[in-house]
Amino acid sequence: MAFSANLFHVCCLIFFAFFFTNPIKCVDGEGPLPALFVFGDSILDVGNNNYINTTTQFQANWSPYGETFFKSPTGRPCDGRLISDFIAEFANLSLIPAFFEIGTDKFLHGVNFASSGSGCLVETNRGIVIDLQTQLTHFNEVVELLVNKLGSQQSQQLLTDAVYMFSTGSNDYAFPYLTNPKKFPFPKEQFSEMVLGNFTAILQAIYNKGGRKFIIFTLPPEGCSPGGRAFNAQIGGKSGECMQELSGLLEMHSNALPKRLTQLQQNFKGFNFTLFDLYKLFTQRIDNPSKYGFNVSIEACCGTGAFKGINSCGGKRQVKDYELCKNVTDYVFFDASHPTETANQQFAQLLWNGTTDVIAPHNLKSFFQL
Ligand SMILES: *[C@@H]1O[C@H](CO)[C@@H](O)[C@H](O)[C@H]1NC(C)=O
Ligand SMILES: *[C@@H]1O[C@H](CO)[C@@H](O)[C@H](O)[C@H]1NC(C)=O
Ligand SMILES: *[C@@H]1O[C@H](CO)[C@@H](O)[C@H](O)[C@H]1NC(C)=O
Ligand SMILES: *[C@@H]1O[C@H](CO)[C@@H](O)[C@H](O)[C@H]1NC(C)=O
Ligand SMILES: *[C@@H]1O[C@H](CO)[C@@H](O)[C@H](O)[C@H]1NC(C)=O
Ligand SMILES: *[C@@H]1O[C@H](CO)[C@@H](O)[C@H](O)[C@H]1NC(C)=O
Ligand SMILES: *[C@@H]1O[C@H](CO)[C@@H](O)[C@H](O)[C@H]1NC(C)=O
């Protein structure tokens, strides 16, 4: 006890000496707060796609996106904050900036690399998203910046204490499925092996840089989003029903995650992970909205057509017509496939300190306590 308390004290003094040039936050008598590095898709994209050559399909930097909390659009595909924004708040960190907005010194509490439309495979929406491999390249650039700023020893400590958050995979399945909804164009098991293989390779690469604490989201039930229901009707499915085949693929991936992650833990000393069941939390709210304080779960707040499932929110994409709901807090979905801030807040709270039925084996709070 005494030893570790002293260590924290020394650590904080070292960081105090750096404070004027390097404002790493310290809690009284403790070390610096663990940083948060965020990877993945639109569930976590805080504006990276504002800076790349893409299509408006994968952007959201116009009103009414951002209206609830930021009062102006940021690129987040939501009316307000995303799960990672709430987690930063719970962890006493400032908002984690998009990679393209870190400037010369805003990367010491973590960086967000996520890109809407991206997946684990480079082929997924290739050319118009930042795939996970490229997100890793961006992370490696940040590691260089950290080493230059803090020196190798302190940057190593920062990388080891940091938390690495991932929401990735659903676009790998949605992309080929939506292009060919009649028949998934690959053998499913093999395809899933390939997606998972690429995903775990990224985790290993971060481990090799010093990363130890990984938080992985299961895939959201895209087939039951307003967009999924609308698309299902378009391709001749029963009106209002979910795209079962897509949901099945996403579930298959999610079900394979625990074994894959356990293998990594067995093979790599100190590799630590926890799995967040976003699929379950989303599904609970879609199936039983009133139990969670919502009253609309199959229709989006913003969009047009059946279930407002046509992705037209803000009128800047292909379809220009859109309607915006009066009270966004009534809704689970803000647009055709993305949760509202209210839903994100509930998810983040459960990710932070929920019970093992949704976050296991560790809650995220324990990852932020050194
Ligand atoms: C973006 O794409 C356009 C059209 O394809 C091209 O002219 C432009 O150079 C690209 N910009 C970047 C930054 O890649
Ligand atoms: C955040 O700050 C509050 C108030 O100082 C403190 O009670 C809490 O333990 C801190 N949380 C973390 C994760 O450091
Ligand atoms: C990663 O994906 C590529 C296709 O983009 C595939 O050829 C390769 O085998 C995959 N790697 C692993 C380890 O599964
Ligand atoms: C949500 O429920 C409230 C209270 O029952 C009701 O006044 C409101 O009209 C409902 N909103 C929608 C969009 O159904
Ligand atoms: C919006 O809905 C929430 C939850 O149903 C309710 O508490 C709030 O009063 C509503 N706000 C408005 C402006 O109707
Ligand atoms: C998580 O924290 C919230 C807010 O502090 C609290 O209301 C809730 O009971 C906690 N949940 C658990 C499972 O401890
Ligand atoms: C993983 O992290 C948790 C929470 O911080 C900790 O209790 C546990 O001992 C760690 N496990 C490993 C294998 O490092």
**Ligand 3: which atom is nearest the Cα of residue 122?**
5
Is residue 15 in some structural domain? no
Enclosing domain of residue 244:
32-279+340-369
Q: Which of the ligands is closest to the CA of residue 351? A: 6
Q: How confident is the model at residue 16 (pLDDT cuts 50, 70, 90)?
A: very low
CA 109 / ligand 4 centre spacing (Å): 40
108 pLDDT above the threshold of 90: yes
Q: What is the pLDDT of residue 32?
A: 81
**Span 321-336, mean pLDDT?**
98
Q: What is the pLDDT of residue 6?
A: 35
Q: Considering the chain, what percentage of its residues have pLDDT values greater than 90?
A: 88
Is residue 247 in some structural domain? yes
Q: How confident is the model at residue 24 (pLDDT cuts 50, 70, 90)?
A: low
Q: Which of the ligands is closest to the CA of residue 36? A: 2
C-alpha 364/C-alpha 163 separation (Å) is 9
Is residue 20 in some structural domain? no
CA 222 / ligand 5 centre spacing (Å): 27
**Span 177-202, mean pLDDT?**
94
**Ligand 4: which atom is nearest the Cα of residue 331?**
13
Is residue 291 in some structural domain? no
216 pLDDT above the threshold of 80: yes
**Span 170-184, mean pLDDT?**
93
What are 143-159's pLDDT values in tens digits? 999 999 999 999 999 99
CA torsion angle for 142, 144, 150, 155 (degrees, to 10)?
70
Q: How confident is the model at residue 217 (pLDDT cuts 50, 70, 90)?
A: very high
Is residue 97 in some structural domain? yes
Q: Residue whose CA is closest, atom 1 of ligand 7?
A: 272
Q: What is the pLDDT of residue 181?
A: 87
Is residue 307 in some structural domain? no
CATH classification at residue 215: 3.40.50
The token duo for 233 is 């009707």
Q: What is the pLDDT of residue 22?
A: 45
Mean pLDDT score across all residues of the chain: 92
Q: How confident is the model at residue 168 (pLDDT cuts 50, 70, 90)?
A: very high
- Strand ranges, E, within 15-125: 36-40
Which amino acids bring their CB within 6 angstroms of ligand 4? 295-296, 330
Pairing outcome for strands 296-300 and 331-333: parallel
Is residue 51 in some structural domain? yes
Residue pair 303/244 in contact by the 8 Å Cβ criterion: no
Q: Residue whose CA is closest, atom 7 of ligand 3?
A: 194
35 pLDDT above the threshold of 70: yes
368 lines ligand 7 (CB under 6 A): no
Q: What is the pLDDT of residue 347?
A: 98
Q: What is the pLDDT of residue 239?
A: 81
Is residue 37 in some structural domain? yes
The total of structural domains in the chain comes to 1
Q: Count CA atoms closer than 13 A to 223's CA, side-chain side.
A: 18
